[in-house]
Structure 1
Amino acid sequence: MPEWTLATDPAQVRVLVSGYQSWSEAELRPLTDVQSVPLMRWRHEQGHDPAFLPSGEAGVWRSHTVLALVRPDGGGWVGAAQDATHTFTHWEARAEGDRVRVTCSQEGPATAVAWEPTDDVITILETLSAQLGANMHARTPAPQRVWCSWYSYYRDVTLTAMLDNARLAREHGLPFDVFQLDDGFQSDLGDWFTPSSHFGGHARDLPTQLGDLGFTAGLWLAPFLASPTSELFREHRDWMLRGADGQPLTVGHNWGGAYYALDTTRPEVLDWLRTLAATARGWGYPYLKLDFLYGAALPGVRHDPSVGRAAAYRMGLQALRDGAGDDAFLLGCGAPLAASIGVVDAMRTGPDVAPLWDEDSRRVWLGDATGPSARNALHTALSRWYQHTWYQPDPDVAICRRELSLLNSNERHAVAGMLDVVGGLRASSDPIALLDAEGLGLLRDCLTLSAPDRPTTLTHSLGGAVTHFRRGTFNLTDASLDGLAPHSYQRQT
């Protein structure tokens, strides 16, 4: 296990970390601070890597794939994996007296890592990240402008609601490329081929009608999961990832209860995944959002014990790519980030946005900043600015509506600023009928594509994240700082 001892005062060092998957926290913090560990066990599985959790110790920070330590002069040290196809690379920085000890461990076949002292942490982190993307043949196609149903209708989405919003988008001349049908169209988690009782049709009924309006159809799937009430689970219980007791292993808590994950080392499971993606493509969906992908990479007992977690995940993801076709656009979410490079076209790089700024009880008292909120999305997505060389980053949706929202004007514009700074996908989920002239104007701004921005500093932060960029500055705190209002974004003029 590589190890480095740095003769530097820990109290003078900031650490930039990136969590394991889309929703896991990424942040820029003093090394002597404490990295939070969620108190709820199911959030270890659903928001983190349970095999390499944050330590919860003062002065000990853990990161996945990359790590940066920043001195007050902007120099420091950067570590980065150079391949993640079959291997998870774990970093730990630990304050020890007047020194800092850094260790790097790997789960899977040993692969190269880079460790570079530098006078310019920002540039070296970008350079090493780009090399990882190049080594894994990253796919970075043109970003898409997407309307999705989730943050308007959640699981109550209907065929009529999809088409009503598409017609209004066309009437207003809103430049969306894709209309994506999210969770709620299917009868159960895992039973993707049969419609829910409320949807008012079948998922295959939508693409042609969207095409007539000038939009590409997108579809949400959680392809590695199965509800205990699903036909998939009842008929193929043996397909599930198992615990040490030989029983199917619960892998999270959502949709009102626990659920299970497919064992992607089973050939019949890979066949089923190929068929699922090919079927969705055959219905007319060249854009697929693949969610809750972490399930295939959780610790457990697999059919083929010789296959490690990273490789098992990659096998399942590749099966979906093979079924959908090389020209399909695949967006990953809730996914092990680096392990997805070269297979997905885009990746969610933070928690869900929500029409509220923060959920203090969960973040502060339960130690979990992986849940939905505008603050959590900004905090993590901004701190992963460098990942645009791995895939098209997806910082999630803008919230432009004033109705059915607790966000104030500053907060709505901060979310819009995040989309501009991160670049990548542009998405909205507002019911278009609720948008007034101001909301429509903000939405048009949010749908204007931009190149990813770069930070100007990692030595100063307004909120424990990367907040200072060339195009503007974010204040993620609850107080006015440096002339910026709380929860705001000030664009450079």
Structure 2
Amino acid sequence: MSSRFTLENPHIVLKLDPMASRMMFRRPDTGTRLESSIPTLSYLESGRPKRLTLMQVGSMGEMKPHAAPFRDHQSLRWEETVEGFKLALEWAIPSYAPHILWRWSLRNMRSDPIRLQRALMLACANQAFLEQTGAGGLCKGFPRGTLSRDGLDLTFPGLPATLAVYLPGWQSWSYGGWVMAEDRVPRSRLGPLTLPIIYDQARNPPRTQGHFRSEMFAAVLDTQTRANLTCGFLSQRQSFGSVDVRIHGDARALSVTMDLDGLKLDPNAEFHSDWACLQLGDHGVEGLEDYAALVGSFNQARVAEKASVGWCSWYGYGQAITEAEITANVEAASAVFDQTPSRVIQIDDGFQTEIGDWLSIGPAFPSGMRQVANTIKHAGYEAGIWLAPFIALSRSRVVKNHPDWILRSKWGMPANTGFVWNQFGRAFDPTHPGFLEYLQQVVATATADWGYAYLKLDFLYAGALAGIRHDPGYTRAQAFYKALRLIRETVGGSVTLVGCGCPLGAGIGIFDRMRIGPDVAAHWKPSIPPMTRLLSKEPTLPGAVNAIRNT
């Protein structure tokens, strides 16, 4: 059996060395080259931390051609059984594009369960970075032993002054955009008030200059040569993951990590990872378009023929909206129906008695939500309504009646949702069967009973927070995606779903529209009297500058 294996097309080359547990990626025409260790898995066995390289050095596993999971791709699959685990690694390469895909699976053949913690999918650095890490060759931020002076490489064209990094952010409102390699990513100064909202709680945002952490994917661009590198995942159905880019002068490092959240893997149970993706391009920011097309195809993204244009009550009335105001605005809109492209009228926050009690209608809507929907539809508009299905306030009836539905920390305290509606909220556990029944009831009532065909689902990040789940056999991403899929299956394919405050990767293929920035506002910078001076530079609060930057 050959000791090395190769997948290649005219644009990119992958070489696999099972004997050294190495994988090497190369783009011949740009000189971009990465050499990484094989993916490694961290887990707990009887509470003790363990680490497993998914292709053991000198192992006797078998590498063979495999039926490609994608059209026009060739694939290799490595299988072996080691330390009581049945392991498999797959790589795939297209015939026409400069990207490589890889994923892994693991079956627990032991007699006891284990807890999966995280997987390091890629770890590489250049010699300058390794020399900055001390005599031991160990790099801060990388698991011990995954990055050393021996045999790893990261070669990418460009000087620090010409390199830019693209960061999409954790969810809709998070900072997203390009930053130069010598910059610092703008951070919120509001600590626990906003950190759980705009950052994935599994990882604290980096503080050092030249260290960039991005969710799902990141891109690096040499603005002079147009060489680009895009790295991340095709989906976030199995786990949430991040990409770390480090650029300190000539020192460079790149790592891709998958969070497994302490998933309990029982004997004979199996876990299949999402696909990781590395793309080495040569035509500037268009490389991001190629990655987005690949992600959209894989997730069967719902692409609308045209954007929805309409009116939302929030920006005029906030929570003070009433049935009378909706009726008055419907009449005003009807008078200019043929003169505007607006075809949606959406009721936002304020119709319910409390956040979380979505089926309890407040006194400001005496006719009920079905009658209001009929009023909107009779005027020729699509009726829309706002819900925040994964979050509630402590005084709501649903929280008081079902405290077991609430996601909690390991200390038994409610998970921190951040500061919302002038208080800390409560997040629901999307693995609890009682909550899932309630979720299904809420969206079914809003669509099939009340007659709304446009649902804006907000504060969705609350369904992906870290915490102790009712069912430990799910990662956060698995539980969240299962709940989102339940929503779509309940309302059907004809209902327009709009995701807001949503971890971006998990919503692809579920939502028809997705908010990708903070709330827009009638002022350039965030302005919240009497704290405008303090908050004007907050990168994720409502303001035209933040909305435009993300867009």
| Bin of the TM-score, shorter chain as denominator length | 0.7 to 0.9
1:259 and 1:250 map into 2 onto residues whose CA distance is 7
Out of 382, 390, 393, the position equivalent to 1:224 is 390
Amino acid at match of 2:223: P
Please, which runs of 5 or more residues in structure 2 have no aligned partner?
Answer: 1-119, 125-153, 261-271
Q: Secondary structure at the match of 1:54?
A: coil
Out of 437, 445, 450, the position equivalent to 1:283 is 450
Structure 1 residue 199, shift from structure 2 partner: 3.8
**Are residues 1:373 and 2:373 paired?**
no
**Are residues 1:299 and 2:466 paired?**
yes
Out of 305, 320, 327, the position equivalent to 1:163 is 327
2:511 and 2:283 map into 1 onto residues whose CA distance is 30
**Are residues 1:150 and 2:318 paired?**
no
1:338 and 1:378 map into 2 onto residues whose CA distance is 21
* Contact 2:232 2:256 (8 Å CA) reproduced: no
What is the correspondence of 1:171-250 to structure 2 with a 5 Å cutoff? 171-173=335-337, 174-250=340-416
1:252 aligns with: 418
2:459 and 2:535 map into 1 onto residues whose CA distance is 25
2:159 aligns with: 9
Kindly indicate which of the two structures has a greater share of residues assigned to helix.
1
Q: Secondary structure at the match of 2:374?
A: helix
Amino acid at match of 1:6: T
User: How many residues get paired?
Assistant: 381
Structure 1 residue 9, shift from structure 2 partner: 2.8
Out of 227, 232, 236, the position equivalent to 1:84 is 236
* Contact 1:37 1:53 (8 Å CA) reproduced: no
2:544 and 2:172 map into 1 onto residues whose CA distance is 15
- RMSD (CA atoms): 1.8
* Contact 1:79 1:116 (8 Å CA) reproduced: yes
* Contact 2:238 2:273 (8 Å CA) reproduced: no
1:400 aligns with: none
Amino acid at match of 1:75: A
Out of 312, 320, 324, the position equivalent to 2:487 is 320
Amino acid at match of 2:228: G
Q: Secondary structure at the match of 1:377?
A: helix
2:277 aligns with: 114
Out of 247, 252, 258, the position equivalent to 1:100 is 252
Structure 1 residue 368, shift from structure 2 partner: 3.1
Kindly indicate which of the two structures has a greater share of residues assigned to strand.
2
Out of 197, 206, 213, the position equivalent to 1:62 is 213
Amino acid at match of 1:374: A
* Contact 2:245 2:252 (8 Å CA) reproduced: yes
Structure 1 residue 363, shift from structure 2 partner: 9.4
* Contact 1:207 1:285 (8 Å CA) reproduced: yes
Structure 1 residue 114, shift from structure 2 partner: 2.0
1:359 and 1:84 map into 2 onto residues whose CA distance is 31
Evaluate the alpha carbon distance shift between residue 206 and residue 47 of structure 1 in structure 2; reply closer, same or farther with a 3 A threshold: same
Amino acid at match of 2:247: A
* Contact 2:167 2:217 (8 Å CA) reproduced: yes
1:39 aligns with: 189
Higher radius of gyration, 1 or 2: 2
Structure 1 residue 72, shift from structure 2 partner: 2.5
Q: Secondary structure at the match of 1:94?
A: strand
Out of 353, 357, 363, the position equivalent to 2:520 is 353
2:498 and 2:200 map into 1 onto residues whose CA distance is 20
**Are residues 1:50 and 2:214 paired?**
no
2:212 and 2:200 map into 1 onto residues whose CA distance is 14
2:430 and 2:443 map into 1 onto residues whose CA distance is 15
Q: Secondary structure at the match of 1:301?
A: coil
Structure 1 residue 322, shift from structure 2 partner: 2.2
Structure 1 residue 185, shift from structure 2 partner: 0.3
Task: After superposition, give the CA deviation of every residue in 1:252-295 in whole Å (9 maximum; x if it has no partner).
Answer: 21212111011010112111111111000120101100000000
Task: After superposition, give the CA deviation of every residue in 1:109-147 in whole Å (9 maximum; x if it has no partner).
Answer: 533222222221322211111111111111112322121
**Are residues 1:125 and 2:288 paired?**
yes
Out of 170, 180, 183, the position equivalent to 1:30 is 180
2:423 and 2:355 map into 1 onto residues whose CA distance is 12
Amino acid at match of 1:12: T
Q: Secondary structure at the match of 1:29?
A: strand
Out of 302, 311, 317, the position equivalent to 2:478 is 311
1:246 and 1:20 map into 2 onto residues whose CA distance is 25
Amino acid at match of 1:359: P
What is the correspondence of 1:342-421 to structure 2 with a 5 Å cutoff? 342-359=509-526, 368-381=538-551
* Contact 2:526 2:536 (8 Å CA) reproduced: no
Amino acid at match of 2:203: F
1:161 and 1:367 map into 2 onto residues whose CA distance is 34
* Contact 1:145 1:176 (8 Å CA) reproduced: yes
Evaluate the alpha carbon distance shift between residue 255 and residue 199 of structure 1 in structure 2; reply closer, same or farther with a 3 A threshold: farther
Q: Structure 2 length normalisation: TM-score?
A: 0.66
Give 4+ residue runs of structure 1 displaced > 6 Å after superposition.
Answer: 360-367
Evaluate the alpha carbon distance shift between residue 137 and residue 194 of structure 1 in structure 2; reply closer, same or farther with a 3 A threshold: same
* Contact 1:32 1:60 (8 Å CA) reproduced: no
Out of 390, 413, 434, the position equivalent to 1:268 is 434
Evaluate the alpha carbon distance shift between residue 214 and residue 147 of structure 1 in structure 2; reply closer, same or farther with a 3 A threshold: same
2:283 and 2:454 map into 1 onto residues whose CA distance is 38
Task: After superposition, give the CA deviation of every residue in 1:88-119 in whole Å (9 maximum; x if it has no partner).
Answer: 22111101341321111112453322222222
* Contact 2:383 2:454 (8 Å CA) reproduced: yes
